[in-house]
């Protein structure tokens, strides 16, 4: 059965786990062939490939450390060699050290910006070169730490804010070719990173944190990787054609309330 992405090829970074995995499987379930990248978890990435193959898609897993420009180039080379085209690029992978700014080392800043900023620029260049004129989709996965302060997120928040600005500039440059560029800015989403941040970063019991988060979220639930995948799928679909240069906050309404609104209890 045909889907919205039938005949399209999508490259998703950090697709072995979490949101990236859900995005890859969602695009495949709607017809896309996949290039999925991972850093360490080859077995998990191969499981995504197997699942996509089971859906009748073609898929390949590529090791890529986004700190390395050569690896960024190589993942697009695999897309070119295997599929001879690219229609969708999702910059999803991220990594950082959750530390107060007064404690971060120079390499913490360099690594976080290499993955989120430098790799995004280089990857967008490679993606645009592979995309034909008329249709292309680039989606950057940002995070709510770009909007407000989250303890220990200073470096990542700054890198994600830069990424959101790059989304606007790329949308401006690539719009005339039919390529849209948008960002997705999730609140807390239940993944390995979320659990690590709550447990180690905040030092809070995960069950207790979950109950508090749900109580503060107008939709009264946590976000899931599938929520991120649904929004990315819309942005990548033909229906998303007139939306470009935007970053959509996806947090169940968590960030709507001004801090002043909490004063009254
Ligand atoms: N989870 C949340 O609450 C939340 C909130 C806001 C924004 N986000 C954003 O959503 C995106 C996905 O987050 P997630 O929670 O799904 O992450 P996750 O479950 O921790 O998975 C991270 C992915 O990135 C890959 N990766 C890690 N370091 C890498 C590197 N140096 N180069 C290339 N790939 C690397 C990992 O590969 P391996 O599996 O091989 O290690 C994995 O596939 C990120 O951009 C994150 O900032 C997440």
Angle at 197 between CA 192 and CA 201, to 5 degrees: 150
Ligand 1 atom closest to the CA of 145, numbered from 1: 6
Quick: pLDDT tens for 133-155: 899 999 999 999 999 999 999 99
Using the mean position of ligand 1's atoms as its centre, give its distance from the Cα of residue 184 in Å.
14
> How far is it, in rounded angstroms, from Cα 218 to Cα 176?
38
- Give the pLDDT mean for 88-98: 97
Ligand 1 atom closest to the CA of 188, numbered from 1: 3
CATH assignment of 9-187+224-249, given 3.40.50.720, 3.30.420.130, 3.40.50.360, 1.10.260.40?
A: 3.40.50.720
Q: Domain residue spans in the chain?
A: 9-187+224-249, 190-222
pLDDT of residue 83: 98
Using the mean position of ligand 1's atoms as its centre, give its distance from the Cα of residue 193 in Å.
7
- Give the pLDDT mean for 115-134: 97
Q: Which residues of 233-260 are buried (b: 16+ CB within 10 A; e: fewer)?
A: bbbbbeebeeebbbbbbbbbebeeeeee
Confidence of residue 98 (pLDDT cuts 50, 70, 90): very high
Which pTM does this prediction carry? 0.98
CA-proximal residue: ligand 1, atom 28 (nearest):
95
Is it the case that residue 2 has pLDDT exceeding 80? Answer: no
Is it the case that residue 57 has pLDDT exceeding 90? Answer: yes
Using the mean position of ligand 1's atoms as its centre, give its distance from the Cα of residue 264 in Å.
37
Residue of 145, 155, 184 whose CA lies nearest to 167: 184
Is it the case that residue 231 has pLDDT exceeding 70? Answer: yes
């Amino acid at each position: 059965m045909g889907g919205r992405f039938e005949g399209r090829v999508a490259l998703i970074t950090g697709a072995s786990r979490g949101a990236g995995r859900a995005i890859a499987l969602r695009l495949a379930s709607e017809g896309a062939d996949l290039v999925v990248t991972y850093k360490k978890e080859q077995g998990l990435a191969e499981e995504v490939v197997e699942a996509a193959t089971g859906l009748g898609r073609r898929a390949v897993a590529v090791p890529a450390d986004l700190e390395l420009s050569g690896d960024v180039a190589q993942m697009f080379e695999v897309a070119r060699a295997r599929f001879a085209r690219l229609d969708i690029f999702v910059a999803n992978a991220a990594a950082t050290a959750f530390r107060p700014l007064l404690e971060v080392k120079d390499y913490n800043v360099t690594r976080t910006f290499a993955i989120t900023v430098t790799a995004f620029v280089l990857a967008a260049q490679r993606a645009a070169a592979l995309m034909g004129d008329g249709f292309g989709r680039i989606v950057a996965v940002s995070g709510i730490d770009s909007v407000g302060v989250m303890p220990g997120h200073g470096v990542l928040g700054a890198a994600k804010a830069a990424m959101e600005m790059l989304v606007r500039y790329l949308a401006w440059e690539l719009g005339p070719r039919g390529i849209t560029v948008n960002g997705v800015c999730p609140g807390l989403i239940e993944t390995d990173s979320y659990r690590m941040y709550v447990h180690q970063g905040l030092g809070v019991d995960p069950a207790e944190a979950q109950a508090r988060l749900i109580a503060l979220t107008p939709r009264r639930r946590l976000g899931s990787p599938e929520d991120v995948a649904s929004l990315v799928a819309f942005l990548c679909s033909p229906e998303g054609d007139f939306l470009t240069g935007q970053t959509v906050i996806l947090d169940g309404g968590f960030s709507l309330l001004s801090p002043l609104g909490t004063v009254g209890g």
